[in-house]
Each structure stands twice: as structure tokens, then as C-alpha cells.
Amino acid sequence: MARTRKRTKSNGTLLTVIIAFAANALIAAAKSVAAVVTGSASMTAEAAHSWADAGNQVFLFLAERRSARPRDESHPMGYGREAYVWSMFAAFGLFTAGAVVSIMHGIQEIIEPEPASDFAVAYVVLALAFVLEGISFIQAFRQTRKAARELERRTLEQVLISSDPTLRAVFAEDAAALIGLVVAFAGVLLHQITGSALPDAVGSIVVGVLLAVVAVVLIDRNRRFLVGQGVTPDIERSMALRLLEHQDIARLTYLHLEYVGPRKLYVVAAVDLQGDHPEHEVAVSLRRIERELEDHETVEEAVLTLATPDEARLEF
């Protein structure tokens, strides 16, 4: 029978997703109105981008909620990997609803340019969007920086290699949104100055290409964790030291760590226990150490076996 586990305490990711959804929904509505009023290709691309982001937050919300369910008999390693599945859907949504629509609209604008007007509306909406996106990005940045400090990593390094796909997605999408707003502003401004729709159309295409790059990176990161992303050396060393610091463990000869969800590890290790105890006492000690390891919120399950005398000690 699978051992039950308590839910992982909230790490703030859900709050980050909710803030991002609220910001993107407001921004998407405002950009849509501005796109209709002005006829700007860049504003249309930005509206598609924000609607895609708002829809993606729903997938990320599901990723966070469903992956946090405790394990049961049908899922002995828990539901953690669901986070990567739903985050993958969100990345595909960003690619199709955001990138493809923006690029196609930009190309269409080049082929059949349309006049734009009421540029002041576009500027006001872009400024409002920048403020709201900035608030969402600051929340994601603070949480990412906190996690990076705990693991002694750089913030951008944490974004790329973190096992938390929802936080990575919000951070990347908000960063892309801020860059996209600057591009859209340049496109609208050049359209107004030159009277040509070409800069506006190019801005739409640039926004689409930016979203496509972000989506491909997110898809690739989720794919890696779904097929069995290995842990980084710092995580491996931290777990090894935790085992070696245990008062009952004398030697560590094998260590396998595997992500089974965001911040969740499956641990398999071969150890040599202190002293020379009878078999039944050794079995009890191993099970006790396993439970102690599983009390840590990052360990979903731990399995320990005895090392043989001829196995070399792992050095960290």
C-alpha cells in the first residue's frame, strides 16, 4: 500500500499565477479595445499575446493545484508530474494563440496595410499594460530570487533549471510581455511618425517571434522533466550530505535522485550503517531513516539499501 503524504505547504506559486491572470485579463481587454479603435497591427498582436497569457494562467493554475494532490494507491509517486503536462499545454497555447496569430497578422498587415488612428489611446493602454505587467513580473521575480538564494544560484539560472514549471512560465511570459510592450510602442510610434503601417506590422511579427522563442524554451524544459530530468550537482551534493550527516549512516556508495514533480524527489541510496547489528535491527533502522528523509517536503519517497563492503564510497 502506498504511503500517504501531507500536502506540500504553499510556496507562493499559486499567488503568483493568480496575480498574473488578473493582470493579463485586464490588459487583454484594454488592448483589444485599443486595437479596434486604433487599427494598429502591434496592438492587435499585443491583444492576442495577452489573451494567450490569460488563458495560459488557467492551465498553470490547474498545474499547481493538480500536482499538489497527495499520492495514493493509483499514483504511488504522487501527481507532481501533472504540473509539467499542464504547463506544456500552456506553452503550446502561447505558441499557437500568441505567436502564430501575431506573426500572421503582421504579414497580413504588410500585404494589405490598413490606416491607423487615435494613437493616444494606444499609448495610454500600453502604459497601463506596462504597469500591470510590471506588478506581475515583480511578484514572479521576487519569488524566483528567493528560491535562487536558498539554492545559492543566480536568478536567471534558477528560472532555466528550476523544477517548478509554473513559476518559470509566469516569469518568462511576463518578461516577454514587457519586452513586447516596448516593441509595440516603437511600432505604433513609427507608424504615427512615418504614416507607414510597415513598422507597426514588423512590430507585430517581432512580438510573435519573441513569443515563439519563449514557447519553444518552455516546451523543451517541460519535455525534459517529463522524460526524467536529472538533478543538478548542487541538489545531489545537498542530498548526499544530508544522508552522510545522519548519525546512523557511516558510508554512502550509491545515490539516485529523480524529479517526480515540482520540488519533489524520489531518492534511492545504498548506505553502510554504523556498527554491526542483527538483520532485523538493520531493517528497522533503514525504514526509520527513510521516514525521516520523507519528512522533508522535497522528498516524495526514499528507498535505502545496504552497501556491500567492496563498493567504493561516494565523495562529495
pLDDT in tens, 209-229: 998 999 999 999 999 998 888
pLDDT of 2 over the 60 cut:
no
* pLDDT at residue 8, as a whole number: 46
Spatial contact of 109 and 199, defined as CB atoms under 8 Å apart: no
Instruction: List, for residues 9-45, the tens digit of each pLDDT value.
Output: 445 677 888 888 888 888 888 888 888 888 777 778 7
User: Which of 129-133, 228-232, 239-243 is the most confident on average?
Assistant: 239-243
pLDDT confidence tier of residue 7, bands split at 50, 70 and 90: very low
pLDDT confidence tier of residue 84, bands split at 50, 70 and 90: very high
* pLDDT at residue 218, as a whole number: 92
Grid cell for residue 11: 510556496
Most distant CA atoms of the chain, gap in Å? 88
* Distance in angstroms (rounded) separating the CA atoms of residues 253 and 191: 66
DSSP label at residue 230: B
pLDDT confidence tier of residue 150, bands split at 50, 70 and 90: confident
Instruction: List, for residues 252-280, the tens digit of each pLDDT value.
Output: 999 999 999 888 999 999 999 887 777 77
Beta bridge partners of 207: none
* pLDDT at residue 9, as a whole number: 45
* pLDDT at residue 58, as a whole number: 86
More confident residue, 97 or 202: 202
DSSP label at residue 113: -
Instruction: List, for residues 105-147, the tens digit of each pLDDT value.
Output: 789 888 888 777 778 888 888 898 899 889 889 988 998 999 8
Residue 159, H or E segment:
helix 155-161
* Distance in angstroms (rounded) separating the CA atoms of residues 44 and 28: 10
pLDDT confidence tier of residue 292, bands split at 50, 70 and 90: very high
pLDDT of 46 over the 80 cut:
no
Which one, of 251, 243, 301, lies nearest residue 274 by Cα? 251
* Least confident stretch, 8-17, 153-162, 193-202, 217-226: 8-17
* pLDDT at residue 11, as a whole number: 57
* pLDDT at residue 23, as a whole number: 83
| Mean pLDDT of all residues belonging to the chain | 85
Residue 250, class by beta-carbon neighbours within 10 Å (0-12 exposed, 13-18 middle, 19+ buried)? Answer: middle
Grid cell for residue 166: 509554473
* pLDDT at residue 145, as a whole number: 92
Grid cell for residue 92: 503550446
